[in-house]
Amino acid sequence: MRPVASVSLDLDNLWAYLKTHGDPAWERRPSFLPSAVPRLLDVFGEHGLTTTVFVVGADAERDDGAGAVAAITAAGHEVANHSFGHEPWLHRYSPAELDDEVARAERAIVAAGAPKPTGFRGPGYSVTPQLLDVLTRRGYRYDASVLPTWIGPLARAYHNRTAGPDSGATDLFGGFGKVRAPNQAYRWRAGGLVELPVTTMPLLRVPIHGAYLLQLHQISPRLARGYFRTALRLCRATGAGQSLLLHPTDVLAAAEAPGMEFFPGMAVPGGEKVALLGWVLSSLRRHFDVVGTGEHVARLDGTALRERDPVACG
């Protein structure tokens, strides 16, 4: 049997990126979902993939977001919870605020026509013991919020250098200690919730998901493809699974995401982005049995997963 890999999409909308970046234009709630969602579903369909899409509750309440949820569900993809307001500082929330944030997103997703979600990913890889407790009490099967890398402080410095004064995101992405987190699925000791981390390159622990590949592609398409091939070889050699993260910006041209010039890879033309994504998915399928995150977790049932104490979240 081939090893299992999963593909997930964080359906972050244009307004959410602008809000995190401190751009007051976010208050007009601009959206690129009508452009991004059909394009992404077409790519997934071409490759015969069933994925997991983490949806923001505030988007599921609006017409284009509800339409996206309906289309995603109709295509057979899992819809999971990506918080209600997409504030990547859930670590500042009280337990009551966390419960409300998760519950409001649940209600919006269900009202848009998807089943009640059983998976969660915090915006900005934000996860705390209090959040894990909320998810456990609300019956979630898995969390997928951990990015096990050492580059958080560097990414934060890059972000804060260009962010507006109202970004409120000065403590994004965690510290260097994230590198100690396991790079494959494990179980949180309290409550038994499964954590399926976003895979980083084994040994080097640098990110390999869409935005980072596009930044390398901007320098050299050959470099980006060689980087991803190396990641796949290391994942197979070390026995690490593969949980690949995508975003709408992985298929959008700069003109379709106004105000996001600061984001990695936005100088790459939209057609080149779609071609690169297609190549990535084809490469992944050659080496792995590719499913969504919920199915990936389901296939781990009955296996002995290592346990980790929730206090290690940060």
Number of domains in the chain: 1
In a domain, 205, yes or no: no
In a domain, 230, yes or no: no
> Which residues are CB-contacts of 314 (< 8 A; sequence separation ≥ 6)?
91, 128, 174, 175, 177
In a domain, 270, yes or no: no
CATH code for the domain in which residue 13 is found: 3.20.20.370
In a domain, 215, yes or no: no
In this predicted model, what pLDDT tens digit does every residue of 252-271 receive, in sequence order? 999 999 999 999 999 999 99
In a domain, 209, yes or no: no
In a domain, 164, yes or no: yes
> Which residues are CB-contacts of 63 (< 8 A; sequence separation ≥ 6)?
none
Q: Which domain holds residue 72?
A: 4-200+242-248+288-312
Ranges 57-66, 147-156, 166-175, 254-263: which has the least confidence: 166-175
In this predicted model, what pLDDT tens digit does every residue of 20-47 receive, in sequence order? 999 999 999 999 999 999 999 999 999 9
In this prediction, residue 165 has a pLDDT band, given cuts at 50, 70 and 90, of low
Global pTM reads: 0.96
In a domain, 219, yes or no: no
In this predicted model, what pLDDT tens digit does every residue of 82-94 receive, in sequence order? 999 999 999 999 9
In a domain, 303, yes or no: yes
